Amino acid sequence: MGSFLAMTDPVGPFSDWQYGIYLRGMGMGERPELPVAWDALERAAYDALDEAPRGYVWGGAGTGDTMRANLDALRAWRIVPRHLRAVEARDLSAEVLGSRLPAPLALAPIGVQSIVHPEGELASARAAAAVGVPYTASTAAAHTMEEIASAGGERWYQLYWPKDEAICASLVKRAEAAGYTAIVVTLDTFFLGWRPTDLAQGFLPFLRGEGIAQFLSDPVFRAQLARPPEEDLQAAVGHWVSIVNKVVQWEDLAWLRGITELPIVLKGVLHRDDARRAVAAGMDGVVVSNHGGRQVDGAVAALDALVDVADEIGGDATVLFDSGIRCGADVVKALCLGADAVLLGRPFLWGLALAGADGVEHVLRMLLAEVDLTMALSGAATVADLTPELLRRA
Ligand code: FNR
């Protein structure tokens, strides 16, 4: 069984996880504890959560049209497997934002994970570190960035840019001090989109002080309060409401560029002109994303935008992608269409809801095993082999 242990090595070949499941099944009669089919996993998580958090995770803007478009756009591209190539050994590693990653995958920033599991972000960050996948800590997290950092592993900090410049600078400096290696500025959520599911339940956890840990722990924010949040939470929440979020403009970027040496990527870019201008403004890259269809109903599918943005700035700057990734094939398709790496969103919450850190790790290993196998079986041995030639429109 020594070789079996080697198979669970955190950065070992990802598809060995598949073989391990067969070995445990045939050798010990064990079955995987969590579903290994994506639809079964999603359904189990859906059933496990209460109505309000379920609505928050599954909900989208307006009619849900953008969420559907994200999924449809991924289905509209098909992989055309190629054969007789040297794919026995694969190398999924990739250089992203100055770090060598075991695979071109990171966790998307997701706030207030405590509504899904009591350990929230701490569990997800531990799972990401165990697999070697970067964790993106949200400004809207229920745990502080310093607590999240204690999980170890590669980490990026997602900034919701506050109206107050001093608080904004403090968040960025704290991220630097806590070992975050990139700043991800989310552009598309200065107001919340029209989200019928949450509206119908009157559900916004931040208003009861859940998901604002970065602020409650921030020395500059705290200094602006008459009494500390531990004594007057409602006043702290009121102050938080008054300072989130700034409607960031192009001319603001120079200030941010000036206060940090860390790579900065802009999240929510969907137009090639915005991508080009981001590079001109000294940004290191973009995340092509429509926030998982939670902001603008009727928006362009993120994958369709990726094609434009990668054509415009691919090679000049880092192009990350999210919104609609639901399986290994989706990751492969986004990489083929020009993403340097892909961010996983809702599916890791499914794992979190079902089994905390173990659940997130399950999701990551399942996804990476699928990516690895899909690449091998399609004739791609390295990430560089993932090009548009491997795909065709349905
Ligand atoms: C998000 N997303 C998000 N983005 C961000 O920059 N900061 C945040 O705090 C959050 N919070 C958040 C909560 C929940 C419940 C969801 C589902 C999403 C957006 C996230 O980073 C990513 O863009 C989407 O999740 C991608 O879409 P899919 O693939 O999850 O559908």
Q: What is the pLDDT of residues 121-170, one digit of tens each?
A: 999 999 999 999 999 999 999 999 999 999 999 999 999 999 999 999 99
Distance 276 CA to ligand 1 centre (A): 24
Selection from 274, 391, 293, 279 nearest residue 338 by Cα: 391
Q: What are phi and psi of 138, to 5 degrees?
A: -85, 150
The contacts of residue 248 (CB under 8 Å, 6+ apart) are: 161, 185, 187, 190
What is the rounded average pLDDT of the residues 331-350?
A: 99
List pLDDT tens digits, range 80-99.
Answer: 999 999 999 999 999 999 99
- Contact between 110 and 128 under an 8 Å Cβ cutoff? The reply is no
Residues having CB within 6 Å of any atom of ligand 1? 56-57, 108-111, 138, 140, 158, 186, 267, 289, 291-292, 322-325, 345-346
Report the chain's C-alpha Rg in angstroms. Answer: 21
Strands (E), the chain: 77-79, 94-96, 99-101, 105-107, 135-137, 155-159, 183-186, 264-269, 285-288, 318-321, 341-344, 391-393
CB atoms near residue 47 (< 10 Å): 10
% of residues, the chain, pLDDT over 70: 97
More confident residue, 133 or 6: 133
List pLDDT tens digits, range 289-322.
Answer: 999 999 999 999 999 999 999 999 999 999 999 9
pLDDT the model gives residue 13: 72
Q: Which atom of ligand 1 is nearest to the CA of 158?
A: 6
Distance 5 CA to ligand 1 centre (A): 34
The one catalytic residue in 117, 143, 239, 291 is 291
What is the rounded average pLDDT of the residues 62-80?
A: 98
291 is catalytic: yes
pLDDT the model gives residue 79: 98
Q: Which atom of ligand 1 is nearest to the CA of 184?
A: 6
Distance 139 CA to ligand 1 centre (A): 12
Q: Which two tokens stand for residue 381?
A: 């041995």
* Cα separation, 287 vs 310, whole angstroms: 11
What is the rounded average pLDDT of the residues 319-335?
A: 99
Q: Which atom of ligand 1 is nearest to the CA of 67?
A: 31
* Confidence label for 37 from pLDDT (cuts 50, 70 and 90): very high
* Confidence label for 65 from pLDDT (cuts 50, 70 and 90): very high
Q: Which atom of ligand 1 is nearest to the CA of 326?
A: 29
More confident residue, 278 or 3: 278
What is the rounded average pLDDT of the residues 53-66?
A: 98
Considering only CA atoms, which residue is closest to atom 5 of ligand 1?
A: 109
pLDDT the model gives residue 155: 98
Q: Is the pLDDT score of 46 beyond 60?
A: yes
Q: Is the pLDDT score of 2 beyond 90?
A: no
Distance 386 CA to ligand 1 centre (A): 26
Considering only CA atoms, which residue is closest to atom 1 of ligand 1?
A: 110
pLDDT the model gives residue 258: 98
Distance 290 CA to ligand 1 centre (A): 9
* Confidence label for 10 from pLDDT (cuts 50, 70 and 90): very low
Give the containing element (helix H, strand E) for 38.
helix 38-48
What is the rounded average pLDDT of the residues 22-31?
A: 97
What average pLDDT does the chain have?
96
CB atoms near residue 141 (< 10 Å): 27
Which one of 110, 115, 267 would you pick to mutate in the ligand 1 pocket, going by the greatest count of ligand atoms within 8 A of its CB?
Answer: 110
What is the rounded average pLDDT of the residues 209-215?
A: 98
